Amino acid sequence: MKKFILFIIPSTLILMTLLVGCGSNKTPPAEATTIEPATATRESATSTITATPDLCAPGNIGTPVEKVHKHIREFDDAANLLTADLASGIQRDQVSRAIANLQKIRREAEDEIIPPCLTVLKTYQIQHMNSGINTFIAIMSAKDQQAIDQSLAIAAIARQQHDQYLQELNRLLGITPIPATIITPSDTPTPTP
């Protein structure tokens, strides 16, 4: 039983690395926007009217999306580091501090004020972060096969939520994902002498 657990925990950690590490860490392009103040004149007074930009407009959405996305990039980086540390066998108190750091990042993301058009993106972000944190907690407390299976199920949910987040991010930015092409040895041409 002990050998089985010693086999499952590293397997779980490798799976977590793959699941968390598959996300995009690219920062969406920021678009510069300038707003010229409009002026109105009357016979007796001149006033300046400043327009508030629509943050959800296609030309303006990049900046608020980038603010939301920086939290998930920070979270994924910290989760990848924790996964690597778990694989190398760090101490339990260090794991607790790393999980506390993930929770801090999640709280910062929760507190971020966003325009209404980013509500779905933020929802997927927070769900993914909660599932990621719950996965690490489940891994640390796993004592039997059922607990290991539960942590793997939570990890799979976290991956799905991360994928939903990326799909919503792409939709907001108007990006059409291009599927990766896998080249197998049979697909590569043989060089002729």
**Domain membership of residue 154 as a residue range:** 1-11+58-173
Say if 162 falls within a structural domain. Answer: yes
Say if 120 falls within a structural domain. Answer: yes
Say if 104 falls within a structural domain. Answer: yes
192: helix, coil or strand?
A: coil
Give the predicted TM-score (pTM) of the model.
0.67
Q: Give start and end residues of each alpha helix (H) in 89-144.
A: 92-111, 119-141
Structural domain total, the chain: 1
Encode 40-56: b = buried (16+ Cβ within 10 Å), e = exposed.
eeeeeeeeeeeeeeebe
Task: Give the tens place of pLDDT for each residue, 56-88.
Answer: 887 888 899 999 999 999 999 999 999 998 888
Does pLDDT of 142 surpass 50? Answer: yes
Say if 156 falls within a structural domain. Answer: yes
Say if 16 falls within a structural domain. Answer: no
Say if 28 falls within a structural domain. Answer: no
Task: Give the tens place of pLDDT for each residue, 32-47.
Answer: 444 444 444 444 445 5
Say if 186 falls within a structural domain. Answer: no
149 vs 13, residue with greater confidence: 149
CA dist 78 and 69 (Å) reads 14
Q: How confident is the model at residue 184 (pLDDT cuts 50, 70, 90)?
A: confident
Query: Which residue's entry shows tokens 């041409």?
Result: 189
**Which of 16-25, 80-89, 157-166 has the lowest average pLDDT?**
16-25
147 vs 41, residue with greater confidence: 147
Helix or strand holding residue 49 (H, E) = strand 46-49
Say if 149 falls within a structural domain. Answer: yes
